[in-house]
Amino acid sequence: MATAADLALANRLAEAAGEAIRPLFRGEWSQEQKADRSFVTEADRAAEAAMRAILERERADDGIIGEEYGTRNEGAGRQWVLDPIDGTTSFIAGRPIFGTLIALMQDGWPVLGVIDQPIARERWVGRIGEGTTFNGSPVRAVACKELSDAVLGTTTPHQFSGDDVEAFMGVAKAVAERKIIYGGDCYNYGLVASGHVDIVVEAGLKLYDFAALVPVVEGAGGVMSDWQGNPLDAGSDGRVIALGDAARLEDVLEAMGGSAIPAHGH
């Protein structure tokens, strides 16, 4: 379980990352393309370095899994999973809908998550067993009677390939076409927790992209799963569904192609 001390530390990590990012937003900074063709900026590296410095000083025994600087103490039962800027393209484009993601995982399961938008100073915090807060106040996801009522979010349709394209389009066709939003990265999952977005469907996510999202969405009464309806953990394949209303999970799986529906309700 995540303790109150873990929660306080996660908030301090978010503050440190934000202090590194804010001076560079819409400013002068360097960028480069990584081996996987994704972009990384000076702000990504500065924010992760700031968070790691705190963890290395105060939590020497815990592991760290970071997007920019890799893994430390790989065998530790407690792992801090860091994505300093989730949505680097939005950061580069000057759009304040990226976020810093901080997760604490216990034995491979996410138990604490933070989505922090440092420019708008918006922060969602979720802890397993506790409710999710937005800037310190409780938030709840909303009920959704049927998929045709839903607001669907995804970062980009270009993340889907092969059969995944058909699965995503199945969900897109089930919702009203004017209620699909593109772009947003982790920000969309905060909006699920706050009751503004009903469904997010994505593929190709790494552990540091989704670990922090799970406690935030589920603490607000929503559900996150893979495309088979299973809970997300360190071994998940990076294809994720977030729902504000867990009752719609089987509808989404059915819209994706039916064969993905688990034999029993999850």
- Across residues 20-32, what is the average pLDDT? 88
Average pLDDT in the chain = 93
The tens digit of pLDDT for each residue in 94-103 reads 999 999 999 9
- Band the pLDDT of 26: cuts 50, 70, 90: very high
The tens digit of pLDDT for each residue in 39-87 reads 788 899 999 999 999 999 999 999 999 999 999 999 999 999 999 999 9
Report whether pLDDT(262) > 80: no
Who's near 227: CB < 8 A, 6+ residues apart? 167, 239, 240, 241, 253, 256, 260
- Across residues 122-140, what is the average pLDDT? 97
Residue 69: per-residue pLDDT:
93
Residue 31: per-residue pLDDT:
80
SS3 state of residue 90: helix
